[in-house]
Amino acid sequence: MISKCLFPAAGYGTRFLPATKAMPKEMLPILTKPLIQYGVEEAYEAGCNVMAIITGRGKRAITDHFDISYELEHQIKGSAKESLLTDIRKLINSCTFTYTRQNEMKGLGDAIYKGKALVGDNEPFAVILADDLCINPNGIGVLRQMIELYNKYRCSIVAIMEVDKKEVHKYGVIAGREIEDGVFLVDDMVEKPESDKAPSNLAIIGRYILTPDIFKLIESTPAGKNGELQITDALLTQAKEGMVLGYKFEGKRFDCGSVDGFVEATNYFYQNETNR
Ligand code: G1P
């Protein structure tokens, strides 16, 4: 059973300045819903009910979002607008939200390590990077697909997708042998390689299932690309000492960490939201 999902959400969101000067990038909305709520809904749908959020300075809006706003609810009680809060209210009632801060921006590996206090080190857990917005319009969500795969293989899993060779420098990139349709046994993994040094064009997308031994491996991982502690490097050790899978998920992914991807997601949701 995987019941806990970690959300690294401490980054500055510099690509969205000035919008993110005083507002967390995870609170940027696609239509009327903030990015992080899409992630929490995906985790909930996958069976998680503990949402462990790694925040930082200036991120209080996230904490407030996943809490009741009595004044607001009192104001709109009995009006048609009340229904706009139904989804978020359901999450608040069904999940426990826990928080800790990453004090310094030392990389995704460090952010995940900070989550140890929230998710514990004796059970597997999920990780969602909320600016990778993933949907599967005609089937089960991406995280749930990964949890089902975890139940079969019981090892760490990273979501992957094929990207253009020109784009590999933006991602962690894996190489491995396909052991079943869309499932790769990872034997190499490089964080943001130049295109001529990339082991493949299979890029890691912001969905992970991690087994708890990852914390010990992070402790012994030196700083990597850009002087930051990279989860990709810790996972490579795990792949070499044990087993890590790459999973080509079913569904669509929007890179909402970039303005182009954000606009693409906005247009997509505007056209496809059923109640519009
Ligand atoms: C992070 C990871 C990278 C992964 C990417 C997915 O990079 O370090 O391996 O491919 O997320 O979005 P970031 O985009 O935070 O720089």
Q: Which domains does the chain have, with CATH numbers?
A: 4-274 (3.90.550.10)
Question: Beta strand 96-101 with 125-128: parallel, antiparallel or unpaired?
Answer: unpaired
Region 252-268: what's the mean pLDDT? 97
Distance between CA atoms of residues 40 and 97, nearest Å = 10
CB atoms under 10 Å from CB of 269, counted, come to 19
pLDDT band at 274 (very low <50, low <70, confident <90, very high): low
Q: What confidence tier does 273 reach under pLDDT thresholds 50, 70, 90? A: confident
Model confidence at 94, pLDDT cuts 50, 70, 90, reads very high
Cβ(129) to ligand 1 under 6 A? yes
pLDDT in tens, 132-179: 999 999 899 999 999 999 999 999 999 999 999 999 999 999 999 999
The residue whose CA has the least distance to atom 10 of ligand 1 is: 171
Strands 33-34 and 29-30: antiparallel
- CA–CA separation, 239 and 245 (whole Å): 8
Distances from the Cα of 137 to the Cα of 3, 131, 140, 262, angstroms: 23, 18, 8, 18
Please indicate whether residue 113, judged by its CB atom, sits closer than 6 Å to ligand 1: no
In the numeric block, which tokens belong to residue 189? 């993994």
What's the angle, vertex CA 78, arms to CA 75 and CA 83, rounded to 5? 90
User: For ligand 1, is residue 200 a contact (CB within 6 Å)?
Assistant: no
d(CA 47, CA 163): 29
Q: Write down the residue that tokens 């609810």 correspond to.
A: 73
pLDDT digits (tens, 9 = 90+) for 4-24: 999 999 988 899 999 999 999
pLDDT single digits (tens) 204-250: 999 999 999 999 999 999 999 999 999 999 999 999 999 999 999 99
Q: Report d(CA 174, CA 158) in Å as an integer.
A: 9
Residue 194 Cα to ligand 1 middle (Å)? 14
| Side chain identity at residue 29, one-letter code | P
Residue 275 pLDDT exceeds 80: no
Q: What is the pLDDT of residue 138?
A: 84
Judged against a pLDDT cut of 60, whether residue 123 lies above it is answered with yes
pLDDT digits (tens, 9 = 90+) for 28-83: 999 999 999 999 999 999 999 999 999 999 899 999 999 999 999 899 999 999 99
